[in-house]
Every structure is written in structure tokens, then in C-alpha cells.
Amino acid sequence: MPAAVLFDVDGTLLDTSYWHTIAWTEALAQFGHTPAMARIHGAIGMGGDQLLEHLLGQDRDRSEDEAISAAHQALFARFWPGLRAFDGAAALLRELRRRGWSIVLASSASARDLKVMRRALDADDVIDAATSADDVDASKPAPDLVHAALAKADVGPGQALFVGDTPWDVQAASQAEVACIAVLSGGFGERALRADGAIEVHATVAELLARLDDSALANPARYAAQPR
């Protein structure tokens, strides 16, 4: 029976991945770090803790981490007025609610950013719960965020599906034993998403909505008990 759908927000429901890439690029440059923007984009979807480890390595000056993350927050805030939900995002949430699913936003954004993104999404009437950075010790690809979202939904892994846009989403869901549907709107390729275990890949959430009757979201029992 339908239980809970856990949604990543950045890059899945909202068109924010490239704004985050720009904000991280500028924040890192303030501290003398200049990884290629392609590498930075490839780390989007991780929380700040994991992203800095991924880009700068274990031997970096960790005393800078908090300041770099704060700079990213300030720089990303410049884009708040232009944040927009993807076409079909709110409609998908409402249709899933109509079909009996609970809706949980599984985000590792700051509480401040999440509030702004929820306003842009404009679907609070069907959102049952949401996570933020305050709910986890380690961000994606660690499974903590998925575990926190499951707890908010009060369901087990076999009663949920995750929808995300990055390999880090798929890896986190897999570690939490939750099947993951992926979308391409964050800029990651289908091959990478399927390689990490995505059970379906759609171009956008609007396409997922259009194909909902053929999706695992219409027949979740097929995936509930499968080991991943």
C-alpha cells in the first residue's frame, strides 16, 4: 500500500543545482581554492561537510570549513528571488497525495534555505514533513538523511520510495535500503544514476508525473522487499 515518498529538493523539485555550483565556486575562491566548476557541479547533492572533503581532500585546512560553508550560504542567498520550482513539481506532489502517499522533503539544506525553497515550491498543503541540515550528523551520500526522513514519515525502508537527481541521492537511499527513482534535472547522466542503483530515470518530475501509472510509484510492492 502507498506509504511515503521522500523527495530531494535541490535539483529534483527546484532548479537550483547550477546556482549552488556558482555559489560554491565563489566561496571556495575566497579562500584560494579553485577546483574546476565541472568538479564542483559533480559534488552538488552532497552536504557541505562531504562536499569539502570530496573537493579539497583530507589534508585541507579544516579550520576553514565553517567559513567556506558560511560564504556559500551568503552567496547562494543572492539567488533566492529567482528560485523556481520545476514544471510539474507541485502537481506531482499533489497527485501523489491524492493517491494516498505521504510526502516528505528529504533535504540537507539549512533551515533558512529550506524555508525559501518551500515558498518557491508552493506545495506546503500536501507536504507532511521535511528534514534539514539540523536533522543529520553526516550528509549524503551517507544514509543519515534518508533515515531521518523515514523517521519523520514513521515508516520503514520497505514502505518508502526516494526521488532524487544525483548519484549521492541514489547512494544514500541504497544504503538506507530504500529504492530510488532518479531525474536528470540536476545535470547528472542516466548511466551514472543507474550505475548507483536507480530503479527508474526520468528527464524531469513533469515526465515522472506524465508516466506515473507506469512508475514504481504506481506499484511500490514490486520494490518493497527487494535487497539493494
Tell me the C-alpha distance between 39 and 221, whole Å: 37
Q: What is the pLDDT of residues 166-213, one digit of tens each?
A: 999 999 999 999 999 999 999 999 999 999 999 999 999 999 999 999
Q: What is the C-alpha to C-alpha distance for residues 58 and 93, in angstroms, rounded to an integer? A: 39
Does the pLDDT value for residue 2 go beyond 80? no
Strand partners, 179: 161
More confident residue, 221 or 44: 44
pLDDT recorded at residue 222: 63
- Contact of 11 with 184, CB cutoff 8 Å: no
DSSP-H helix ranges across the chain:
17-30, 37-43, 48-56, 65-77, 89-98, 111-121, 144-153, 167-175, 190-195, 205-210, 221-224
Could you give the CA distance from residue 56 to residue 38 in angstroms, rounded to a whole number? 14
What are the tens digits of pLDDT across the range 91-149?
999 999 999 999 999 998 999 999 999 999 999 999 999 999 899 888 899 999 999 99
- Provide the percentage of residues in the chain whose pLDDT is more than 90: 89
User: What's the confidence (pLDDT) of residue 227?
Assistant: 43
Rounded CA-CA distance 162/175 in Å is 12
CA distances from 137 to 10, 134, 147, 167 (A): 19, 8, 11, 20
